[in-house]
A = this chain, B = another copy of it.
Amino acid sequence: MNRLDKAFAALADPTRRGIVVHLARGEASVSDLVGHFSLTQPTISSHLKVLESAGLISRRRVAQLRPCKLETEPLIAVTDWLEKIQEIWEGNYQRLDALLAELKQAQKEERKK
């Protein structure tokens, strides 16, 4: 699995997107997060593992706490990919527009005869 694969896959789960939303507001410990999703602690821990392996979060260690922090780099990579698609798509439209302009011109020429 490459970087984009992992990022998209990590974001495909609603619980994990919820965690991301949460962490966008600032660091949170595992038990903070457990409190927000009616899932068990091991389940949340496993989601965090997925997010971490996708580079979407990092973890510090503070006593027994493991504060999780959002890392934006993979989010930027995903955004960039989406932008690329949009650019290709729009380039495509531009070509279509050019084609339509040509057709209109051709019609004008036709009418002159």
Contact = CB atoms under 8 A, between A and B. Distances in A.
Contacts of A100: none
A103 interface: no
**What 5 pairs between A and B have smallest CB-CB spacing?**
A8-B12, A9-B12, A24-B88, A24-B89, A8-B11
Chain A interface, DSSP helix/strand/loop, else mixed: helix
Copies of this chain, how many?
A: 2
A5 interface: yes
Interface residues of A, number: 29
Interface of A: 2, 4-5, 8-9, 11-14, 17, 20-21, 24-26, 70, 72, 75, 78-79, 81-82, 84-86, 88-89, 91-92
A92 B26 contact: yes
Contacts of A72: 86, 89
